[in-house]
Chains A and B, each alone.
Chain A
Amino acid sequence: SRRVSPELLPVRHICVSSSLWKKNLAAAGPQKFTQEFIDKQVEEFEIGKRHLANMMGEDPETFTQEDIDRSIAYLFPSGLFEKRARPVMKHPEEIFPKQTAIQWDAEGRPFHFLFYTGQQSYYSLLHDVYEKILAMERHQDKMRNKGLLTSETKQILLTGSRWLLKEEIEEYLVENISDHDYMRLIQLMEKLLSMPYCSLEEEFILKFRKQLEVQSSKHEIPALQYDPQGVTFSVADGRRKTAKASITLRDSGSGNITINGRNYLHYFPLLQDREQLMFPLHFVGMLGRFDVEGSVEGSGHSAQAGALRLAISRALLSFVSEGDVEKMRQAGLLTADPRIKERKKPGQEGARKKFTWKKR
């Protein structure tokens, strides 16, 4: 039968990551994007990057990906909520999914010796790791023969990192693997780590570990300012649903709280709202110490209380030690609540409620 070459087929370039659709990549058949096509895209991307830099009046040589993102957001402002639906200009390697090249030659003979296992990259990786284990054992024997066997060997630092997840391994190998396979791979890597002299393969192992970022370093601590009377105070904002709050936290000895010019007892007659205000101060243990003067607008009483709570926690960051900042983050005081009112859909009564179901 006639094979139509891929370039003549109308190919729709769908920029979707393959892991979303769980397609069997290795058995997908002939690849959709040829290597020349991808190279051409890369070239076009580079030229486009230089044009963009010229348009924005910046130096094309030192134009990074962040600058590209910024410029595209400026030139094509989008109000879409889904970040992935907005216009994007990235390197073709990030956009086009990784596809396997043709794995057999013109006569139909596969290139790789493990092709007939079905998961050639996975098994070849297992083979590589086992090779390394054997090499390490031989190295150990050699050292023992020479008499240089030391029990204290350099250990690889593994804190602050984790093994790659199954999805990430799949992306690396461009193959689908099962849970069992993934477990076996991790067990083998652990065995490699347990041997002495594993520091020789440090670079290889770290390829499969991902660094975890320390979350608390991301928070911006508002600056401590000084009153003419010498009282320290800090200013912070907070938001919840549609309510916006802005407060000034003063380090005087009393515990007065004024919101929109009224006492908090009058503004929040409900106990629950006052408990929300109390939470950050009580958690840090500085209940009677601060004076709060705040203004809040929008939404309802509960959202306003939540917004004030977030603002107070943020303002407290400048009065509190590093360990307490981490504790507050873990308590959830510093996270902005992302929940908003869900959109009403057509054909339904509300966001989730459906019309009465009639059988006929």
Chain B
Amino acid sequence: MNLHKLSSRLCPTVTQKFRHLHIQSSGQQLEAVAMETESTEPNPLSVFRTSEQYPTYHSERHTGQYYTLPPAHIQKLFPHGLPPRFQLQMKTFNEGCVMVRPPVLELISYLKKADYSKPPLRYILYGDIGTGKSMSLSHALHYCYTQGWLIVHIPDAHLWVKNCKELLPSSSRPSRFDQPIQASQWLKNFKITNEGFLSKIKTTQQYVWTKRESTEKGQPLGVLVDQGVNRMKSSSDVVGAVLRELRLQAGGATEGEGAFKLAVAVDGVNALWGKTSLKKEDRTMCEPEELTLIHNLRKMMKNNWSGGAILTALSQTGSLFKPQSAYLPSELLGEEGFDNMEPFVPVSVSNYNEKEFESCYLYYLERNWLQHPHGRSEEGKKELIFLSNKNPSILERLCAFL
């Protein structure tokens, strides 16, 4: 069908090797999906869909249109990454469709034009609750992945500052605390996402974990990651070591097999400088500074390395002790966070405009998600606009039971 021909036309323009492996399989999978959805429509491409799968080529004429995330990419790139409600939607609709919106296009254009020999630019996606910050971050991350960058993705930093079952005193430093479960989970996901890079990057120094275990200099990164996954006790320190290695080698500063670009994506970055809900053994509150994972992440956020970009999104929903009306960076990051993150490029994400709402509505109609007959009429649409005020998440929850 048309989609397959389009993707094969795109082949010559693609330069990265491993994408070729994916295109064949994704093309076939897409065909299968497309066969199901397009049986009702004579046009293979509806108004609100675009066949452009690669975010590199998304431009203003694609705003408001949905593009399908190739399933293979979803498995690799987002093992833990997408917002939970979107994952449910993906499971129901059997496909992951993301809308192309202006803030992301802006972000991608910055990424394209940035100079990677200089320190990384920090981008903060901010906006009201439910306007699509996490989804925009995922879209931008998909762009980085298709460009062949190394992805360091923390889906929600808030998960590291609250509800931790095990909090061990750190093995390396006395005043710090480790979170073995979270660290090893993250390392597993990191391994899935960046499999290709694990054999290429080599460690620059020796790391000693215990009396009997150590990682020598010059070993591939994969060994380091496996060390963290297998030995839970030292997994938080392994995370720190991995991040340090990536920082040192990102711009190709040290001798390594070719330079790679590093994308650090943190959702809910305000957790790093907020408060935690964890308690130490003597029942006093833990500061985020005292957690190993948070400490290492903060080091990543500084722009004292080169050869990559730092993409972050604020989040009020998971944050602790912040009022619901706060959505600006200064409010959510606090003084300390703001000083640390400055200078940054703010990107504002807002509710749907008319065209985007129209496209979302048509998408739900096409997927037979709006079952109520009144939902398909013009009046029903006006009701939906009123009740959700064109807020993406509220619209999604509203349509969930229609």
Interface residues of A (CB under 8 A from B): 255, 262-266, 271, 274-275, 278, 281-282, 285, 287-288
Contacts and interface: CB of A to CB of B under 8 A. Distances in A.
A255 B383 contact: no
29 contacts: A255-B385, A255-B386, A262-B325, A263-B389, A264-B389, A265-B388, A266-B324, A266-B325, A271-B387, A271-B398, A274-B386, A274-B387, A275-B387, A278-B383, A278-B386, A278-B387, A281-B386, A282-B379, A282-B382, A282-B383, A282-B386, A285-B379, A287-B379, A287-B383, A287-B385, A287-B386, A288-B382, A288-B385, A288-B386
A226 B48 CA distance: 41
A265 B389 contact: yes
Interface of A is mostly: helix
Contacts of A288: 382, 385-386
Interface in B127-185: none
A139 B387 CA distance: 69
Contacts of B385: 255, 287-288
A266 B383 CA distance: 18
A123 to B, nearest CB: 60
Nearest to A266: B325
B223 interface: no
Interface string B245-280: 000000000000000000000000000000000000
B1 to A, nearest CB: 39
Contacts of B379: 282, 285, 287
A282 B394 CA distance: 19
B395 to A, nearest CB: 11
Nearest to A263: B389
A262 B382 CA distance: 22
Interface in B360-402: 379, 382-383, 385-389, 391, 394, 398
Nearest to B325: A266
Contacts of B383: 278, 282, 287
A278 B387 CA distance: 8
Interface in B302-340: 324-325
A58 B333 CA distance: 71
A274 B395 CA distance: 13
A282 B398 CA distance: 17
Nearest to A282: B383
Contacts of B389: 263-265
A86 B34 CA distance: 77
B324 to A, nearest CB: 8
A17 B38 CA distance: 77
A255 B383 CA distance: 11
A163 B385 CA distance: 50
B386 to A, nearest CB: 5
A278 B394 CA distance: 16
B378 to A, nearest CB: 10
B401 to A, nearest CB: 10
